[in-house]
Amino acid sequence: MNALLLKKTGRTAALAAAMGAALASAGCVSAFEPRTDAASPLAPRIQQLVGENRQYPRWADFPAASRDLPAPAAIAADVGRLESRNAALTADVARIEWTLNQDPAAFLDSVNRRIDADQMSPLTVRTPEQVEAFAEELRQRAKAPPPIDRPRPQ
């Protein structure tokens, strides 16, 4: 009796699942044929673009596969050369005497000593009064000349 009930229940469940799948896929049918609102001002342009791009590309439209590919041994040799160059570059960088990681205070002292050793320009030795007098002289020279009298048209 249980076997007969199981057969009937199994058929009913399969039939219900098939009906559910059919109803679910029926809702998607309209998604594959989208319609453009005819009242839209962009409708003609949209229809034109859809019409132009309706065809799918053919295999003949795709570029052919490259035939002159390097052999795996050549690729392995190139990789080996790159790795050896990388090792040589790493060794060169390791031999450089980097001075940027020294004590900042010592670096500042060495810069100050180099600056103090240079002879200063005579303009930087002036007193503040001399600098102000020079600035005032420049201001006087920068003043615009008086306007020229021009005869007025009558």
* Mean of pLDDT values over 66-86: 95
Q: Cα separation of 81 and 89, whole Å?
A: 12
Q: Cα separation of 88 and 80, whole Å?
A: 12
Which tokens go with 147? 């306007």
* Mean of pLDDT values over 17-26: 71
What is the pLDDT of the chain when averaged over all its residues?
81
Q: What is the pLDDT of residues 46-64, one digit of tens each?
A: 888 888 877 777 888 888 8
In degrees to the nearest 10, what's the CA dihedral of 53, 59, 62, 63? Answer: -160
Which tokens go with 30? 């309209």
Q: Cα separation of 77 and 71, whole Å?
A: 10
pTM of the model: 0.28
